[in-house]
Every structure is written in C-alpha cells, then in structure tokens.
C-alpha cells in the first residue's frame, strides 16, 4: 500500500527548527503566566517567574505570543516551497491537498481537545471555575471538533485547548492558499492578501485572522521572492522593511487599529520574522546552525509541543488544587518541572500518536492512487 504524500521537493529542515523554537517559547515562557496570579488566585505574580528580570527571558515572557506570527510565516514558506508549483501545474488536486493537511493537523488536535476537555471539567468540578479559558460549553466543543475554534464571528472566546485557535486559522489559510495557487497568479495574489490583512487589522478585522493573513501569505511572498541571487537577498528585506516602515508611519500619524489591545509589537514581529526567515534561506551558515540534532528534534516535536503543553499545564494545576496549594510559579524547580513535563509529553505524543496517525491516514487513499512518498 503506497501512501499518499506531498510532492517531492528538497526538505527545509532548518525551517522546522525555527518552528520548534517558536513552539518552545510559547509553551515555556508566554503561557507560563497560566500559573501566575493572572489566572490562579493566591499564586505569585507573572513578573516573579524565574529569570523574568533578565534579558532575553524578560522579552520571551512578555512578547512570547508573537512567536505565533513566526509560526504562520514559516508555514507559508514551507507550503509555497512544497505545493505552489505543483498545484498550479495540476499535479496536486484539492482533495489530495486537503487530505494531506488534515492528516498533518487534525489527529493531534482531536486528541489534545479530548484530553484538555476532560481535564478542564475535572478542574471545574473541584474548584467551580475554569483554569484559564472560559468558553468550555457544548457549542465551543463542536466548533473545536469541526476545526472552527478560531473562526471570526463564530468563536468570540478561547476554549478548551486554547492555543489550538491558531491551527484553525492556519487551516483557513490553507484553503486560501490552494485557491491562490490553483489560479496560477500566486505571485500577484499573495502580496494582495498580505495587504488586505494589514488593512483589515487597522479597521477591526478579527485579530487572529488578520495575523494569519499577514503571517502566512507573508511567508508565501518570502518563498516566491527568495532566490540564490544577490538581488533576491537585497530586494526581499528592503521590500518588507519599506512596507512595514510605511505601516508604522501610519500608526505614528494616528491611524490606529480598531481592535483594542493591538499595538506596534505585531509590526515588529512581522518584520523580525520576515528578516530572520530571509536570512536563514540565504545564509548556509545559519542553516547549518539550525540543522543540528537537538533543534531538528525540537522541530519534529513542534506541533505536539504546541498542542500538548496546555493540557499538561491544566494537569499540573489540578494537582496543585488537590494539594490545596497555589502553584509555586516563582520557583525555578517548578518552572523546570513544568518544562520537562511538557517536552516529555510532546515527545510521547509525537512518537506514539502524531507520527503514526499521519502515516496511517496518508496511506488510506494510496490504495487507489499511488504517489511518491516523503515525510512532510
């Protein structure tokens, strides 16, 4: 039985390493606040977290959520690299593309949703409150089952395994990407979608969807314009820098986003992510630095780590509640223990479920239509 898989293109493993680093920052630093007094009565303040007063850890704690934008941008680069030409040439149809993306994301999403739902309601039974996210009813559960938990207009609140919002946003980007690539005009339409995301962000478009548009299709543009020539290296960063400088100028002139809580940090994240990815794509030295065994392993674990870290955190919070003690989030040993548990759970889910389920699902349509197999 020959598995259905992505078209064979050179594997950009060093970009997976970047994805792994982004997932680690979110799990270990940004979402460590779930153990703080922001969410847990009687716990130490978030600012008391280990190493909080030392850079770069302070920025990782405070700005860690921006790693999601790096995540989106790397995904755009990888999808454009692997699929854009194949879709345009009709070598990959929408059914095959959708099945490959489903096999990649949905199994681990469903597993962590069920685990998170069980733990969240156990926590609620013990404490009569939810540990972090409040949208934990039947409606939000069905949105999660249908992979619509981050859809504008349908999901006004975060729910169950909260970080999964970005996966449903990414899935929406996949649909748009296929339409754009199949049109044969991706080099025109991808920058347009980036611009629409920026305009929408300024005028009140759902923040999650706007970040998906700018990040993902920004990655597609990076892939399209990055080449081995010196001109590709110069034009890409300068173009992004110019565009974002104009955007920052609009903000400075008083044109503010209509969505409360959005500030110039996002523009910094988009610019920094674009320049970082462009540098990695053009500098073999950086590629070798990222293509080391520990970082490759972290890249392999990126999806599982991103999806499993919140259920692990709820399990730890549940233990603390049953011990009738607030989480000692200001202690280095507690931070280290949580980090170890998250990485161990991610490794177990990746090896025992994510990878086997992906291989099994991709093999199912192969009975009818064989294709060249690769791992991504």
Instruction: Write down the pLDDT at residue 123.
Output: 95
**% of the chain at pLDDT higher than 90:** 54
* Nearest-angstrom CA–CA distance, 44 and 137: 29
More confident position, 129 or 264: 129
Predicted confidence (pLDDT) per residue in 130-156, tens digit: 999 988 899 999 999 999 888 877 877
Tell whether the model's pLDDT for residue 219 goes beyond 50: yes
Q: Would you state the torsion angle of the CA atoms of residues 45, 48, 51, 53, taken in this order, to the nearest 10 degrees? A: 100
Q: Kindly tell me if the per-residue pLDDT of 38 is higher than 50.
A: yes
What mean pLDDT, rounded, does the chain reach?
84
Which residues contact residue 42 at a Cβ distance below 8 angstroms, ignoring those fewer than 6 apart?
326
Question: In which band, very low, low, confident or very high, does the pLDDT at 24 lie, cut at 50, 70 and 90?
Answer: very high
- pTM for this prediction: 0.85
| Residue 291 pLDDT grade (very low, low, confident, very high; cuts 50, 70, 90) | confident
Task: State the pLDDT confidence band at 55, using cuts at 50, 70 and 90.
Answer: confident
- Output Rg (C-alpha) for the chain, integer angstroms: 21
Candidates 24, 117, 31, 25; CA nearest to 327 is: 31
- Can you give the pLDDT at residue 287? 85
What letter does residue 373 receive in the DSSP assignment?
-
First vs last Cα of the chain: how many Å apart? 18
- Of 6 and 189, which is predicted with more confidence? 189
- The pLDDT value given to residue 302: 94
Whether the pLDDT of residue 232 is over 80: the answer is: no
CA distances 283 to 91, 219, 278, 279, 289, Å, are 31, 17, 9, 6, 10
DSSP 304: H
Taking residues 262-268, what's their average pLDDT?
69
Which is more confidently placed, 184 or 365? 184
Angle, alpha carbons 38-301-43 (nearest 5°)? 15
Confidence at residue 367, expressed as pLDDT on a 0 to 100 scale: 44
Q: Which of 164-168, 245-249, 361-365 has the lowest mean pLDDT?
A: 245-249
d(CA 316, CA 338): 8
Beta carbons of 221 and 190 less than 8 angstroms apart: yes
What percent of the chain clears pLDDT 70, i.e. is strictly above it? Answer: 84
């Amino acid at each position: 039985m020959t598995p259905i898989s992505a078209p064979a293109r050179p594997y950009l493993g060093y970009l997976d390493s970047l994805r792994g680093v982004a997932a680690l920052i979110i799990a270990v630093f940004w979402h460590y606040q779930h153990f703080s007094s922001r969410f847990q009565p009687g716990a130490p303040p978030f600012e008391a977290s280990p190493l909080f007063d030392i850079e770069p850890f302070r920025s990782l704690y405070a700005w860690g959520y921006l790693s999601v934008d790096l995540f989106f941008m790397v995904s755009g680069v990888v999808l454009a690299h692997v699929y854009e030409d194949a879709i345009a040439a009709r070598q990959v149809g929408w059914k095959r593309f959708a099945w490959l993306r489903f096999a990649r994301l949905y199994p681990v999403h469903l597993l962590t949703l069920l685990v998170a739902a069980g733990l969240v309601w156990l926590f609620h039974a013990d404490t009569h409150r939810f540990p972090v996210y409040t949208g934990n009813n039947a409606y939000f559960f069905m949105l999660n089952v249908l992979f619509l938990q981050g859809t504008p207009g349908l999901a006004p609140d975060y729910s169950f395994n909260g970080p999964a919002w970005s996966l449903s946003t990414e899935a929406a980007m996949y649909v748009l990407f296929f339409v754009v690539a199949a049109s044969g005009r991706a080099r025109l339409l991808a920058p347009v979608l980036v611009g629409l995301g920026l305009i929408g962000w300024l005028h009140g478009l759902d923040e999650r969807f706007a970040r998906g548009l700018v990040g993902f299709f920004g990655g597609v543009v990076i892939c399209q314009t990055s080449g081995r020539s010196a001109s590709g290296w110069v034009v890409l960063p300068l173009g992004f820098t110019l565009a974002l400088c104009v955007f920052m100028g609009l903000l400075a002139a008083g044109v503010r986003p209509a969505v409360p809580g959005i500030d110039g940090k996002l523009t910094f994240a988009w610019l920094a992510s674009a320049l970082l990815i462009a540098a990695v794509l053009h500098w073999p030295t950086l590629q070798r630095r990222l293509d080391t065994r520990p970082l490759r392993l972290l890249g392999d674990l990126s999806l599982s780590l991103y999806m499993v870290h919140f259920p692990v955190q709820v399990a730890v919070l549940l233990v603390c509640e049953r011990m009738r003690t607030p989480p000692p989030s200001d202690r280095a040993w507690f931070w280290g223990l949580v980090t170890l548990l998250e990485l161990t759970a991610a490794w177990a889910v990746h090896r025992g479920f994510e990878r086997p389920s992906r291989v099994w699902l991709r093999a199912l349509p192969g009975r009818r239509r064989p294709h060249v197999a690769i791992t991504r």
